[in-house]
A and B are shown apart, each in its own frame.
Chain A
Amino acid sequence: MEYFAALALAIGLGTAFAALGCGIGQGNAVRGALEGLARQPEAAGRIQTLLIIGLALIESLTIYALVLGFILLSKLPTTAQILEKMVIK
Chain B
Amino acid sequence: MSNLSAHENSGILIAQAEHSAVPTTTTEKTHEAAESSSEEPGQWVFFGYGFLAFLILTILAIIGTRKLKLVPKGIQNFLEMLFETLYGIPEMVMGPRGREYAPFVSTYFLFIVTMNLIGLLPFGRAGTASLSVTMGLAIIAFIMVQYYGFKTHGLRYLAHFAGPVPAMAILIFPLEIISEFIRPVSLSFRLFGNMYGEEKVIAALANLSPHVPIVPLFMLPLQLLTCVLQGYVFSLLVTVYISLATEKHEEGHAETSVSTAH
Contacts and interface: CB of A to CB of B under 8 A. Distances in A.
Interface residues of A, number: 27
B14 interface: yes
Given A56-B237, A70-B12, A71-B14, A45 B189 contact: no
Given A70-B10, A71-B12, A77 B34 contact: yes
A86 B77 CA distance: 65
Interface residues of B, number: 37
B12 A75 contact: no
A7 to B, nearest CB: 10
Contacts, number: 84
Contacts of A63: 189-190, 193-194, 197
Nearest to B260: A57
B240 A53 contact: yes
A60 interface: yes
A63 B226 CA distance: 13
Given A67-B12, A70-B196, A85-B27, A60 B240 contact: no
Nearest to B194: A63
B18 A45 contact: no
21 contacts: A3-B25, A4-B25, A49-B93, A49-B236, A52-B236, A53-B261, A56-B236, A59-B190, A63-B194, A67-B193, A70-B12, A70-B196, A70-B197, A70-B200, A71-B10, A74-B12, A74-B15, A75-B22, A77-B26, A77-B30, A78-B34
Shortest beta-carbon contacts, A-B, top 5: A63-B193, A56-B233, A74-B15, A60-B190, A81-B30
Interface of B: 9-10, 12, 14-15, 18-19, 22, 25-27, 29-30, 33-34, 37, 92-93, 186, 189-190, 192-194, 196-197, 200, 229, 232-233, 236-237, 240, 257-258, 261-262
Interface of A: 3-4, 45-46, 49-50, 52-54, 56-57, 59-60, 63-64, 66-67, 70-71, 73-75, 77-78, 81, 84-85
